[in-house]
Amino acid sequence: MITAGIDAGNQTVKAVILKDGAILGHSIAFVGADTEASAQQALDEALKMAGLSRDEVGKVFSTGAGRKLVSFVAGNATETTCDARGAVWLLPATRTVIDVGAEEGRAVRCDAQGKVTDFSVNEKCGAGSGTFTEAMARALEVSLEDFGQMSLGSQQNIQMNAQCVVFAESEVVSLIHAQTPKEDIARAVHDAIADRITSLTHMVGMEKEVALIGGVARNPGFVDALRRSLGCDISVPDDPQIVGALGAALMAAG
Amino acid sequence: MATEEYWRWTESRWTAPDKDWSKAEIVSAGVDVGSVSTQAVIMVDGELYAYSSRRTGSNSPESAQRALDWALDGTGLKLDDIRFTVGTGYGRVNVPFANKTITEIACHARGANYMYGPTVRTILDMGGQDCKAIRCDERGKVSAFLMNDKCAAGTGRGMEVIAGLLAVQVTEVGELSLQVDREPPPVSSTCVVFAKNEATGLLREGWPKSRVLAAYCAAMAQRVATLLRRLGVEEDFAITGGIAKNIGVVKRIEDDLGIKALTPDFDTQIAGGLGAALFARDLAVKARQAA
């Protein structure tokens, strides 16, 4: 059986093609003005990678903030459900999934079957999502890739006072003016967001093993900060951004 | 510095036309160093004599000095003529010439009591980087307050971000936001950054700037009205701070709460500095009695 999952996030759409327990294709596309068109594009690219045509795919399920804006699917499931399902499928020992995306942060506790037992979400405040690191990288005038790496070279532990993205931008500018090394600012930013994600995780009660997924999981500065903040090791799958879409493809398979 | 400074508001200065400080017993001053603006207020025997309101620079002591110098400008008064000075606001510990510091909550209530009269019981101070709801008695003494200083939603900085996005002067946002036939639903995002994304989407859908601003002003009003309800609103009600000059936000707060805000005779941004100057006078009198 071949199924597909589409995760229509706030910034990117992810698609995964699944056949009998193997990922045949996956893709990531930026969300344009039209979510449906972006979802179609992501699916087409994943099909191309899998070397399949649309007719060969059975059910397609959607998830993500824009899951109801995708009309060509057989069904949809919440991000929480799909995150747990996808993470446990990839890393079976996972009992807590942390998903940090462009505009949301989520902690999900689940059982050995990948069924959700508890969860907690922040979607109101940009300071607990990728928006925060993106804005701070911009304030430092470095690419998001460099920003994460830079953080690992920090020699000194400093603390951010501001919580809000808007206020933190001004604080970062002040730190630059005060000649604070960029590495130390980068680490302070990652520590700040990691602390917020840790609070969110403790709200659901953390159980090991812990998996980190979502776009921000690609940022080594954040991964390092979260390990220190949680005080335990965390696993990051190879393609952390597509785990939600994988979960949707698994849901489509039944 | 950005070439388009949509955040720029009008700095102001004022002197009482009919007062003579040279015959006064006590000249007192209050300086409110806020995150965005700094005010210096000079009082002569407990009566408002002069004030200035300017943008806060990157250096707080310098900003305080600049505001005071401008308030003194043309009056003939010198720093030495001021008996007592109280510093308040976010940067209050950085007022080099202050004799004492007092919190901005206490100063705002005291200042509003002078500006709006003793019937004021609830004050909403909408500042550059925070928002406070304050309850006080007939002497301007604080009985309770709630404050948001963690999040830019509901603050002047939040409004600056949206004004910048729409390329509208922040001082024109209020009027423009009222130029709609029908109120649109408020912007649904709380976070300023998300609200900015949402506003971008609305513009892309073809909304005129006025309608987007109406939706944002309504969201801001909703947010501060929630803060006020948590505290409990007792009339009379007054709004101070920079956003009190934004008719689009003020009108929507009034509509949301179903009450009117008192109309000020003074620049709404001076409440904190004015309260500080009143406390400074009290302290000068006390010091003289002790001597």
pLDDT digits (tens, 9 = 90+) for A21-79: 899 999 999 998 889 999 999 999 999 999 999 999 999 999 999 999 999 999 999 99
Q: Which top CATH class is A1-91+239-254?
A: alpha beta
The average pLDDT across B5-18 equals: 89
A49 alpha-carbon distance from chain centroid: 22
Q: What is residue B123's three-state secondary structure?
A: strand
By the CB < 8 Å criterion, does B75 face chain A?
Answer: no
Residue B7 lies in a domain: no
CA distance A221 to chain B (A): 22
Residue B178 lies in a domain: yes
Tokens of B264: 């000020």
By the CB < 8 Å criterion, does A163 face chain B?
Answer: yes
A166 vs B contacts (CB less than 8 Å)? 152, 157-158, 161, 192-193
By the CB < 8 Å criterion, does A124 face chain B?
Answer: yes
Name the residue type at position B76: G
By the CB < 8 Å criterion, does A178 face chain B?
Answer: no
Is there a contact between B190 and A135 if contact means CB atoms under 8 Å apart?
no
Strand order in the sheet with A116-122: A116-122, A105-110, A96-100, A210-213
Query: What is the number of structural domains in chain B?
Result: 2
The average pLDDT across A206-215 equals: 97
Considering chain A, tell me which residue range(s) the CATH 3.30.420.40 domain(s) occupy: 1-91+239-254, 93-236
Q: Which of A33, A166, A174 faces B193 most closely, judged by CB atoms?
A: A166
B197 vs A contacts (CB less than 8 Å)? 103
Contact yes or no for B242/B126 (Cβ under 8 A): yes
- The number of CA neighbours under 13 Å toward the Cβ of B202 is 25
By the CB < 8 Å criterion, does A131 face chain B?
Answer: yes
CA distance A16 to chain B (A): 27
The average pLDDT across B20-37 equals: 93
A121 vs B contacts (CB less than 8 Å)? none
* B74/B92 same-domain check: yes
* Whether pLDDT at B1 is above 50: no
How much is the pTM? 0.89
* B211/B246 same-domain check: yes
The average pLDDT across B230-245 equals: 96
Is there a contact between B190 and A166 if contact means CB atoms under 8 Å apart?
no
Average pLDDT of chain B is 94
Give the N- to C-terminal CA distance of chain B in Å, as an integer. Answer: 51
Which residue of A lies nearest to B157 if distances are taken between CA atoms? A166
Higher-confidence residue of A58 and B10: namely A58
Contact yes or no for B32/B88 (Cβ under 8 A): yes
Cα–Cα distance between B168 and B172 in angstroms, integer?
7
DSSP class of residue B185 equals P
CATH number at residue B210: 3.30.420.40
Decide yes or no: CATH 3.30.565.10 for domain A93-236. no
* B250/B195 same-domain check: yes
* B58/B136 same-domain check: no
CA distance B140 to chain A (A): 31
Q: What whole-number percentage of chain B has pLDDT above 90?
A: 87
* B191/B140 same-domain check: yes
The average pLDDT across A92-98 equals: 98
* B222/B245 same-domain check: yes
The average pLDDT across B168-178 equals: 96
B204 vs A contacts (CB less than 8 Å)? 33
The residue range of the domain holding B49 is 12-111+270-290
* Whether pLDDT at B2 is above 50: no
* B136/B249 same-domain check: yes
Is there a contact between A126 and B129 if contact means CB atoms under 8 Å apart?
no
Q: Which contiguous run of DSSP H or E holds residue B52?
A: strand B47-55
Higher-confidence residue of B29 and B17: namely B29
Residue B144 lies in a domain: yes
Residue B3 lies in a domain: no
